Amino acid sequence: MKKTNPRLKRAFLDIVDKQLEANDPPQTRETFERLKAEGISQSDAKIYIAQAVCLEVWDILRNKREFNVKRYLRNLKNLPQEPEE
């Protein structure tokens, strides 16, 4: 069983909350609403979105690249499937 870092988890969920609040990008809100319509709870929908955010942050830190908006939006579209690099 994987252990999660609660502070790191909260940081990624805060990013999701800010994206939803600002509606930026709008695809985050669209994905959130779609996942809820598919029967996924609000908290789980945010966790799915946070996984896509996490992948991008990891790539930025590991490879010293800019945020890959195209991949992020593709991963949002494919949720609840696990995000792909």
**Position 1 confidence tier, pLDDT thresholds 50, 70, 90:** low
Mean pLDDT of 16-38: 98
Closest C-alpha among 1, 74, 85, 8 to residue 47:
8
**Position 3 confidence tier, pLDDT thresholds 50, 70, 90:** confident
pLDDT at 2: 66
pLDDT at 16: 98
In a domain, 19, yes or no: no
Residue 77: CB atoms within 10 Å: 13
Q: Is the separation of the CB atoms in 68 and 55 below 8 Å?
A: no
Which range of residues forms the domain containing residue 39? 7-12+24-78
pLDDT at 63: 93
In a domain, 70, yes or no: yes
Domain count, the chain: 1
Mean pLDDT of 48-60: 95
In a domain, 1, yes or no: no
Measured between its terminal Cα atoms, the distance across the chain in Å is: 23
In a domain, 31, yes or no: yes
